[in-house]
Structure 1
Amino acid sequence: MTVLLDIAKSPAFLVSLIALIGLLVQKKSAADIVKGTIKTFVGFLVLSAGAGVVSGSLEPFGGMFEAAFNVKGVVPNNEAIVSMALQQFGTITALVMFFGMLANILIARFSKMKHIFLTGHHTLYMACMYAVIFSVAGFKGVSLILVGALALGATMTLSPFILQPFMRRMTGGDGVGLGHFGGVGYWLAGSIGKLVRGKKEKVVSTEDINFPKGLAFLRDSTVSIALTMMVIYVIIAIVAGPQYVAKNYPDGGNFIIFALTKGGEFAAGVYIILQGVRLILNEIVPAFKGISEKVVPDAIPALDCPIVFTFAPNAVLIGFFSSFVGGIVSMIAMGVLGTVVILPGVVPHFFCGATAGVFGNAEGGLKGSIIGSFMHGILISFLPIFLMPVLGDLGFANSTFSDADFGIGGIFFGTLANKGAQGAVIAGLVILYVLIFGYTFFKKKGSDVE
């Protein structure tokens, strides 16, 4: 189980292993196998390093925001809530994850839903959440592992499946899917983008923004992201005050220099992510062809959310800020309504909000990106309010799951458990699998979900 958890925590290892298998199945030369496997491995390490730089640059932002505006509440953060849950549910989580991955592969093999979910750490997080929820519902031992694995396998299948029409529009085909448990939020953003577009064939993309001649340098996404984040960071630092930086980051030096550096680090992280994505896409898609041909016909690799960032770099920044604004608006509304206050977590609003911005842009251009990611920000702010009560004792922690699919899946199964206990949960699983395999039998040739 320890080895399984270690693999899950290392998407670079998991995906490079998949690439290795695909290249071996295709009987590629030893040189091609070594090259493809190592470049995939390195590509994911580059992507992870970039994500680490972005997360590190954003970490002070959340604290400065709370200090600047004197707000307190629950901070959604997958890593924080999972680290607490694994102390009690570590072994069950590993077993749910392992058999859930098998369920995903079997569904892809025997149904028309062909995505194989390859984002290992998100698989681990979802397995952990289901282990908690079904344990609260009274499942134990083998039954807990079984229902958890079936729920996880269905979620790993459905999340990328509903996004594929948008991915097809972005990428021009079905070579790659999105494997990240913010799927419902991205679907919402894409659908809003489509609604905003209406019957127009062409829209103004975030990548077609016309800058005045003297500001043409802003078309370089690295420059525009760096400048924007520097300005935002400096404003927050000024409001929070130099004392905050001096107390919490004693090695940060002058608070303005500290803010400018963090803004620059954010842009550097995004740049690194984009380079890693390009490296991965050049290797994993051709390598996956071997698995598609031999093991799961027409299989589609579903990869982590930064995989879409290269298709609209400007939408990444626009999506982040629009989603964050949605989180702030939601926070204010919660204060007025007297509910639990969910603070806008900067990391989920960046990774998920940026992805929502790309999806909104793919369908509705600039307007779709702004509105779609704004509504996404509201969605991931309010979902945790309804998720927390079904998490048992874990629901009283000062953190919770952040991304949309955790909220949807957790609320769905948690509510079933509260209403009818184990029988209702089993009925819900039956319905999900009837939908998955029913689609397989009733899908018309050449059609797809829209």
Structure 2
Amino acid sequence: MEIFLEIVRKPAIIIAIVTLIGLLATRQKMTKVISGTIIAFVGFTMIKLGSHILSDVLRVFGAVFKKAFQLEGVVPSNEAVMSGLLSTLGSTASLVLVVGLVANIVIARFTPFKTVYLSLHLALFTAFAITAVFALTNLPVWVVIVVGGLLLGLYMAISPWMISHYTKDVVNSEDYTIAHSGSMAYYFGAFLAKKFGNKDNDAENITVNDRILFLKDPNVATMLTMFILFLVSAIVAGSGTLNEVLTELAGGKATHANMVIFSMEEGAKFAGGLFIVKAGIKLFIDELVPAFKGFAKIFAPGAIPGVDVLVLFEHSPNTALIGFLTSFATGVVMIFVLPLFGYAVIIPGLMACFITGGAAAILGNSEGGLRGAIIASVVDGLMLAVLPAVALPMFQPVFDKYKIEHTMFADPDMIATAVLLAIFVVFIPMLFGVKSLLSAKAAAAAKTAAAAGTAA
């Protein structure tokens, strides 16, 4: 089980295995099998390396930003929640994932939902969210694994299929689609963008004065944007606070940074990380898509792969930046709005804003131009803030039991899936007085969530 969990946490290995099976199934020469598998593995590893750079930069920015503006609250993080539940619910969640993966392939083979969810690290987070809901009940473990796995399998098959007709407008191909836990935000964002946007005004074709034509280069635009964000936050925080934060992040090693140089370096790191991601995307997509046809021929004829959402970023890099800033700004606004309705303060997760906000904007732009990109990324920012706040009371008994504090599941899909499950295994049984299904704390969770909804 530990080996399986380790593999699932390393999506590059999943990509390599699928590529290997596909190339063998298409009877490629052994030299092609070896080279294709390695290139796909290297390509996805580059994406993860770039993502780590982006995450590290955003972690620093988040710490400086919070200190500068004195923000305290719940910071959604799938990794933080999973690490808190791993020792107690990890085995059950991993078995839910196994059943979900099998169910996904069966559904792709025998139904119109012909997509296979390859972003298994995100499916694992969803499996933990499902398992956490079942922790509110007294149901046997085998029921949790079977029912939870079937629900996860349905999600894994339907969510990439649901947004595939929007994805093909960006990638100009029906050979693959997106498998990501922000699909609900992408779907509603693109739908509203198509309805209220203006497709003729493409965000990538914004007219730029000749004097600032350099901003059309995505690497320059990304670096300068992050430089300004860092510099403003550093100035508000002050040099003393900035050095305190950097010292804390460095594990207590004293740090002294000049604000301008610090901001320039972090902006450049961020632009470099994004460049690595885009280079890796081209490598692994070029190998995976042809190989997956061989994989599908064996397991699910006619199915297409659902891959990580970062594959969209090479198509509209400037739009992705617009989406990040818009999603983040929406989250900042919601910091002040949510407490007015009795909900917890949700601090925007910068990596979530960057990835899901950027992807939402790219899909929104393809359907409704610049206006559509902004609409879609606002939808994303609202979901990233509102869904964790609304669902937190439901998860609180489980979090309290396992001493998980100041965090929550982050992405729209996993929260929506968990809430849908909770309606059937917690709220409806309570409504009909079926107490045998519920744990001692489930009723309290339901009442708390219901009270929060009434207050809103």
TM-score normalised according to structure 2 size: 0.89
Alignment of 1:91-102 (within 5 A): 91-102=91-102
> Which of 255, 259, 263 does residue 263 from structure 2 map onto?
259
2: CA distance between counterparts of 1:374 and 1:392?
27
Residue 165 (structure 1) shift: 0.8
1: CA distance between counterparts of 2:196 and 2:324?
19
Structure 2 residue 9 is matched with structure 1 residue 12: no
Alignment of 1:17-416 (within 5 A): 17-197=17-197, 202-250=199-247, 251=255, 253-396=257-400, 397-416=405-424
| Cα distance, 1:41–1:281 mapped onto 2, change above 3 Å | same
Do 1:93 and 1:124's aligned partners in 2 also have CA atoms closer than 8 Å?
yes
2: CA distance between counterparts of 1:226 and 1:319?
16
Residue 59 (structure 1) shift: 0.3
Residue 67 (structure 1) shift: 1.3
Moved more, 114-123 or 387-396: 387-396
2: CA distance between counterparts of 1:252 and 1:418?
52
Do 2:105 and 2:299's aligned partners in 1 also have CA atoms closer than 8 Å?
no
Which residue pairs with 2:428 in the alignment? 420
Identity of aligned residues (%): 33
Which residue pairs with 2:447 in the alignment? none
Do 2:113 and 2:157's aligned partners in 1 also have CA atoms closer than 8 Å?
yes
Which residue pairs with 1:429 in the alignment? none
Residue 395 (structure 1) shift: 4.2
- Aligned residues between the structures: 421
Do 1:246 and 1:255's aligned partners in 2 also have CA atoms closer than 8 Å?
no
Do 1:386 and 1:411's aligned partners in 2 also have CA atoms closer than 8 Å?
no
TM-score normalised according to structure 1 size: 0.91
Do 1:162 and 1:187's aligned partners in 2 also have CA atoms closer than 8 Å?
yes
Unaligned runs of at least 5 residues, structure 1: 425-450
Amino acid at match of 1:328: V
The DSSP-based 3-state class of the residue aligned with 2:116 is strand
Which residue pairs with 1:448 in the alignment? none
Do 2:343 and 2:390's aligned partners in 1 also have CA atoms closer than 8 Å?
no
Residue 252 (structure 1) shift: 5.4
Residue 392 (structure 1) shift: 4.5
Residue 366 (structure 1) shift: 1.0
Amino acid at match of 1:221: P
1: CA distance between counterparts of 2:108 and 2:286?
23
Which residue pairs with 1:438 in the alignment? none
Residue 313 (structure 1) shift: 0.8
Moved more, 15-24 or 329-338: 329-338
Residue 312 (structure 1) shift: 0.8
2: CA distance between counterparts of 1:327 and 1:187?
19
Unaligned runs of at least 5 residues, structure 2: 248-254, 433-456
Deviations 1:219-277 (A, max 9, x none): 11011110111011100111111112211213352233222211111111111111111
Residue 422 (structure 1) shift: 9.9
Which residue pairs with 1:439 in the alignment? none
Residue 124 (structure 1) shift: 1.1
Residue 352 (structure 1) shift: 0.9
Residue 337 (structure 1) shift: 2.8
The DSSP-based 3-state class of the residue aligned with 1:249 is helix
